A and B are shown apart, each in its own frame.
Chain A
């Protein structure tokens, strides 16, 4: 009987997973806010196609995304050429590579709640602010942002949780290096494949509990009138 408790390498995987999820979430919130704002307000004919691109990771299997990232970030791929000419080396098998993969994978989970939050504000508060002489930037930070706060919370929680649960992409892109790219989901997979079920249970059970707590917290954090609009 193997020891059931978590071992140092399990903890390393947990630490790495949390690091990956927080980095991804922070970057996503910063990068997707302008995009979500644009999607919420534009009348451009590109709105449809770009919205579809954002939603692609929802319908594509992670292995498809992981496979194309592995190829495009490789020595002969366009992203690989770019990162190499910038002196960054290649991204597969690195933490930075996993972050790039996670940004793609969790993109809709950040953009869509933000877009909905911006849309639900409507034009009126923005027009009122404009008539009172506020600049567009000013309006965004003092009117739109506070009103969209529930959307930001939803986006952050979902991006974080979804990145924690990521498996296919890190498997395709990561190379399973302890402390660098071996996240919890991959560690669980290894345990199961090696038939170390007790160790798998500890980590997998922890993931289930984590996901449950996250979703309950999400319900509590939503103001009452937004609860029905949760994107779940």
Chain B
């Protein structure tokens, strides 16, 4: 909840200064896995349009609860497609604004170089002690990881070695600290500028799991906010897409 205060202060300030500037402001709740690309996109957006986007990062489920309790967000960039759909059905968001801004890519990653092979055989043959997977009940990446294990027929074999992160950020931390030798994380976390930052990885083929569709939606409070509309358009544009792609997302 501590993210609410700065946001509401920002909203008040923007209301005060509205008379002086043409620019508008929108508060955006951003799924944790999209943190890095969104920071870049928001900076470009501000430069190109003059509008301002204030960002809050966190778990999609938490944002849902906060929105239900009156959090002053204008846009939700979710980690899944079910939460925006639910908000639209419940009449809390503008259904027509809903679209898939990115498709997440699951990757089996290790901090060790030359450890993960390009077919994920290490799951079967490796002598790893722990494998980090996001909580499949809470995180789409965790669910996709479990679907992948099912498809490989390795669920029973791997399960005893699973440690669960409560979201994809924590899951990455388990693997990045080396406490878990392997981890199913988001490609966006280990990739920058189209390249793997460190370690070794297997990009899980999309046929192994249901697509990780990440949907955006405008919430009712920002229905008439020009900045919200502009940002949704901007996310569909070439500039934003180039950034999104460089972090390993598909469309």
Contacts and interface: CB of A to CB of B under 8 A. Distances in A.
A176 B166 contact: yes
Nearest to B137: A194
Given A76-B178, A171-B170, A193 B138 contact: yes
Interface string B54-73: 00000101101100000000
B178 A75 contact: yes
Interface residues of B, number: 23
B64 A195 contact: yes
Interface in B142-178: 162-166, 170, 173-174, 177-178
Contacts of A231: none
A208 interface: no
A64 to B, nearest CB: 13
A193 B130 contact: no
Which has the most chain B C-beta neighbours within 10 Å: A73, A93, A177, A186?
A93
Contacts of A153: none
A71 interface: yes
A190 B138 CA distance: 8
Nearest to B62: A193
A195 B64 CA distance: 9
A121 B111 CA distance: 55
Interface string A174-188: 011100000000100
Contacts of A76: 178
B174 A175 contact: yes
Contact of A175 (B59, B130, B137): B130
B133 to A, nearest CB: 10
Contact of A92 (B62, B64, B135, B179): B179
B65 A74 contact: no
Contact of B61 (A71, A186, A194): A194
Contact of A193 (B61, B164, B174, B178): B61
B91 to A, nearest CB: 17
Interface in A74-102: 74-76, 90, 92-93
A161 interface: no
B247 to A, nearest CB: 24
Interface in A31-74: 67, 70-71, 73-74
A140 interface: no
Given A71-B177, A90-B179, A171-B170, A177 B138 contact: no
B61 A195 contact: yes
B124 to A, nearest CB: 21
Nearest to A176: B164
Given A70-B177, A93-B163, A190 B64 contact: no
Contact of A74 (B64, B138, B177): B177
Contacts of B178: 74-76
A167 to B, nearest CB: 11
A176 B61 contact: no
A70 B174 CA distance: 8
A70 B179 contact: yes
A92 B174 CA distance: 9
B70 to A, nearest CB: 17
Interface string B165-197: 110001001100111100000000000000000
Nearest to B181: A75
Contact of B135 (A74, A176, A195): A176
Interface of A: 67, 70-71, 73-76, 90, 92-93, 171-172, 175-177, 186, 189-190, 192-195
11 contacts: A70-B177, A70-B179, A74-B179, A90-B129, A90-B179, A92-B179, A175-B174, A176-B163, A193-B59, A193-B166, A194-B138
Given A75-B178, A175-B174, 6 more contacts: A70-B177, A74-B177, A92-B179, A171-B170, A176-B166, A190-B135
The 3 tightest CB contacts between A and B, nearest first, are A175-B163, A176-B164, A193-B61
